[in-house]
């Protein structure tokens, strides 16, 4: 719980800063990540969706313009990914993950900080619930 609570707070900070600092090129990069994620979701290629999920978050971290924050978040993500690698291979979750990323992207495009933070919070909460479901099954 504490790992996800800290990650959620940091991800919310990153998206808050990203809304105000993101470049048009980075918005295009996020759109491309979502479009590719949709393509691979339809193909049920969960491994590729997992990679694109990481790429999406990396673009957000870069657009926050804080190397320190990006480094901390990557460290958290690496730790979490090591403990739940098989989690993202659950194909039933792919559409939800895609929808969550699209909601974050739309809020950023609307330049709506509160909406972006809320979308990121929902994404982190859902991610935690999906991970807990897998840990219970194992």
With 0-12 CB in 10 A as exposed, 13-18 as middle and 19+ as buried, what is 97? buried
Total length of the chain: 138
Distance separating alpha carbons of residues 118 and 115, to the nearest angstrom: 5
What pLDDT is attached to residue 84?
Answer: 61
What pTM was estimated for this model as a whole? Answer: 0.90
Distance separating alpha carbons of residues 135 and 138, to the nearest angstrom: 5
What pLDDT, in 10s, does the model give residues 98-110? 999 999 999 999 9
Which range of 26-30, 43-47, 71-75 scores highest in mean pLDDT? It is 26-30
With 0-12 CB in 10 A as exposed, 13-18 as middle and 19+ as buried, what is 112? middle
What pLDDT, in 10s, does the model give residues 46-94? 889 989 999 999 999 999 999 999 999 999 888 877 766 555 457 788 9
What pLDDT is attached to residue 78?
Answer: 85
């Amino acid at each position: 719980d504490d790992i996800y609570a800290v990650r959620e707070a940091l991800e919310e900070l990153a998206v808050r800063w990203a809304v105000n600092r993101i470049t048009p090129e980075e918005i295009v990069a996020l759109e491309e990540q979502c479009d590719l994620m949709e393509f691979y979701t339809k193909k049920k290629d969960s491994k590729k969706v997992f990679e694109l999920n990481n790429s999406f978050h990396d673009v957000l971290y870069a657009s926050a313009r804080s190397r320190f924050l990006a480094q901390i978040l990557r460290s958290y993500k690496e730790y979490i990914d090591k403990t739940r690698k098989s989690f993202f291979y659950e194909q039933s979750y792919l559409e939800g993950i895609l929808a969550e990323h699209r909601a974050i992207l739309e809020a950023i495009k609307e330049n709506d900080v509160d909406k972006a933070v809320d979308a990121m919070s929902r994404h982190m909460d859902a991610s935690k619930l999906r991970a807990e479901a897998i840990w219970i099954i194992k």
